[in-house]
Chain A
Amino acid sequence: MSSSEVTTDGLTGVRPDRAARTGVTTGKRGRRRNGPGRDRRGDGAPTVPDAEFTSYYGLPVINAPVWAAPDIAGYLFLGGLAGAASLLGAGGQATGRPALGRVSKVGAFGAAVLSLVGLVHDLGRPSRFLHMLRVFKVTSPMSVGSWLLAGYVPLAGIAAASSVTGRIPRIGIGATAGAALLGPAVASYTAALVSDTAVPAWHDGYPEMPFVFVGSAATAAGGLGLLGAPLAQTGPARAMAVFGIGAELAAFERMERRIGMVAEPYSQGRAGAYVKTGKALSVLGLVGAFLGRRNRAVSAASGVALLAASAATRWGIFHAGLQSANDPKYTVVPQRERLRYRSSPGNDVTPPTDPPPLRVGHPS
């Protein structure tokens, strides 16, 4: 029951916490400061100005993806694994490492089929999955990817079947070559898939994302080879993992530096935990792969660590996208900065054909 009363002198007994406060949640500048340790470029130049922005009651500007983590993050991982494993499979066959070839081909096909299951399961109307092949559009990486998978999965299947049964060897070789040709595309196009959105952490990282993805894919395929192939044949798998981790870490680092504050989700919250876990597992797997060169069990364990590292990275990238979509800061602040940059005297209007030079910060 209310204790307030209306008297000729106005209201009395009003509880102060119930008084409407206007302009508190909106129309007010939210101030977020970056500490002195935020100079990520290390050249003394201010990288990120104070992120001061306005929003509509803190609600996100864009609608976040409705994709589910096990389906789509899993697909990013499995698609990468399949694509890179097809290369290892073909290489294993060509260089007389049949076991490595077999493991990689079977793994590639298995991962591809699993990823298809995830993709179809994630559809709002799974029974309409064939509608993906109604059209072909280069502006839609999902359309390109659907056609790519439509060609890749049967080839990977034939390659795996031939490798396991030893039958139809010639067709098997052809299919292996075909899968190895399409594999790199399968492993890398998913970067365009996530980048071709308005999700800040995904879109802004589009130049580096494909390199992160193929690196992560090579790490996973190397892990699979280490897990499944006998020691005598794991040399290329180990080297593949080294290449993968190197490419992934370098590209990731470059991306985080370049996109500035939009990269924050990659090191914060759930996404940050996944990314950190991925890096730790990469190092662990790499050390294990070299220490366990003469030990099958250690080698296999390091393979598992590398597979897990790749998966953790993909989950981290997936969640970073969601986090950046759900916080209006990552949509508003870079766009505001862009407008400020364009309107300040002496700066040309950014030519529409050029990729954004710097989404955030003072362009040097």
Chain B
Amino acid sequence: MTAVDIEIGHRPDLTGALLGDTDPAAQGGYRDHPPRMGFFTDTSVCIGCKACEVACKEWNAIPADNTVGLTGMSMDNTQGLGADTWRHVAFIEQRKPVAAQDPGVLHEGIDVLALAPNGSGTPPEQAGITPTTPGAAGDFRWLMASDVCKHCTHAACLDVCPTGSLFRTEFGTVVVQEDICNGCGYCIPACPYGVIDQRKDDGRAWKCTLCYDRLSVGQEPACAKACPTNSIQFGPLDELRERADERLAQLHEAGVDDARLYGRDPDDGVGGDGAFFLLLDEPEVYGLPPDPVVTTRDVASMWKHVGAAALTLIGGALAAFAVGGRDR
């Protein structure tokens, strides 16, 4: 592991500290740092296998969720990100057409008994059914998407943490120091994505570290390593953004007009996500906020209003004694 060049007390240029496009690691005080690393999750190739969920749990030694059972709502029994779920595969069933995703299970008109004499040697072009010749596209599709901490450029969880437990790494990611966290819970409602949460029997807040331990020794995060379809892509954020733009253009060309990038824009409400997505529907369909804004964007205005209110209280008290004096 290489030494990290961070100067304690070094005051970085705070322009853009609360909003807009910026280099978060430099804002965090790192002088020379590796490129910002992140995830590009291309949900158009996600098959919902949940290998990422399992790999994440195993590598990070995350305990089992408190609630084990079936939700009955879909094949998603994890439901969402939390203290014990750092990768979550969303599963959506829709009455919307999509080409080449129809399972084609209703093979009416195929006489299997007539096909039987051919044995297993039927050439594919003569076969009635093969795994790669689906039936006609129906009006039904599945969407699957692996959600994760976004490692925001302007991270509300980090901004509001009163202990300094949450910190910015040299890779531009956001990590909780569990030996510091005192479980105040402030980061939990601060996150606009509902990522971080409190582990009940432990009391502290937990979330994805983007496998800080693996990154530090040049390894890719466990979820990306385990992903069999390369839906989860890991790398320097600049490269991922380029790759995502290419993929989006490719999909649009193929007629998948629904495809869109989410969290890629550095000028959005959180200054862009370190982990961003290619989605096939509106973000809220996947349980993602359509236009998240880091709450601390308004913090200066909040303090101004607090100051004005405090002065109002002093004024009210002075007036109370002025008026109340006549009352005696």
Contact = CB atoms under 8 A, between A and B. Distances in A.
B288 A213 contact: no
Interface stretch (B223-231, B241-249, B318-326): B318-326
Contacts of B82: 63
The A interface is mostly helix, strand or loop, or mixed, namely helix
A54 B194 contact: no
B59 interface: no
A214 B312 contact: yes
Contacts of A199: 189
A322 to B, nearest CB: 9
- A84, A91, A207, A239 — which one has the most chain B CB atoms within 10 A of its CB? A239
Contact of A135 (B93, B164, B292, B328): B164
Contact of B189 (A214, A232, A233, A325): A325
Interface in B191-219: 191-198, 202-205
Interface in B76-106: 79-80, 82, 90, 92-96
B115 interface: no
A235 interface: yes
B284 interface: yes
A116 interface: no
Interface string A130-167: 01101101111111001000000000000000000000
B305 interface: yes
A307 to B, nearest CB: 17
A189 B299 CA distance: 12
Given A192-B302, A352-B20, A62 B191 contact: yes
B19 A196 contact: no
B159 A123 contact: no
Contacts of B20: 352
Nearest to A236: B324
A81 interface: no
Contact of A132 (B182, B290, B313): B182
A61 B324 contact: no
B104 to A, nearest CB: 16
Interface string B275-318: 00000011011111111100111110111011111111110111
A146 B185 CA distance: 14
B190 A196 contact: yes
Interface string A15-33: 0000000110111000000
Nearest to A23: B95
A232 B289 contact: no
Given A66-B198, A123-B184, A214-B310, A332 B191 contact: no
A91 B310 contact: no
Nearest to A185: B310
Given A62-B193, A238-B327, A211 B301 contact: no
A355 B301 contact: yes
A196 B317 contact: no
A65 interface: yes
Given A198-B295, A236-B325, A332-B284, A122 B310 contact: no
Contacts of A222: 320
A115 B94 CA distance: 49
A62 B289 contact: yes
Nearest to A25: B73
Contacts of B282: 54
Given A134-B164, A141-B160, A353 B184 contact: no
- B20, B82, B328 — which one has the most chain A CB atoms within 10 A of its CB? B328
A240 B316 contact: yes
Contact of A26 (B285, B311, B326): B285
Contacts of B162: 132, 135, 137, 140, 142-143, 146
Nearest to A208: B305
A66 B93 contact: no
A66 B197 contact: yes
Contacts of B159: 137, 139-140
Contacts of A192: 299, 302-303, 305-306
A134 B286 contact: no
A142 B205 CA distance: 16
Interface string A208-246: 111101100110001000000000111111111011100
A180 to B, nearest CB: 8
Nearest to A189: B306
A243 B186 contact: no
A188 B80 contact: no
B80 A232 contact: no
A27 B95 contact: yes
Q: Which 5 A-B pairs have the closest CB atoms?
A: A124-B183, A124-B203, A56-B287, A236-B324, A235-B324
16 contacts: A56-B286, A57-B287, A61-B287, A61-B288, A124-B203, A125-B203, A128-B181, A132-B184, A137-B159, A139-B159, A140-B161, A141-B302, A206-B305, A236-B321, A239-B320, A293-B327
Given A91-B320, A335-B291, 12 more contacts: A23-B95, A61-B193, A61-B288, A137-B161, A139-B18, A184-B314, A187-B310, A191-B306, A196-B160, A197-B190, A236-B321, A238-B324
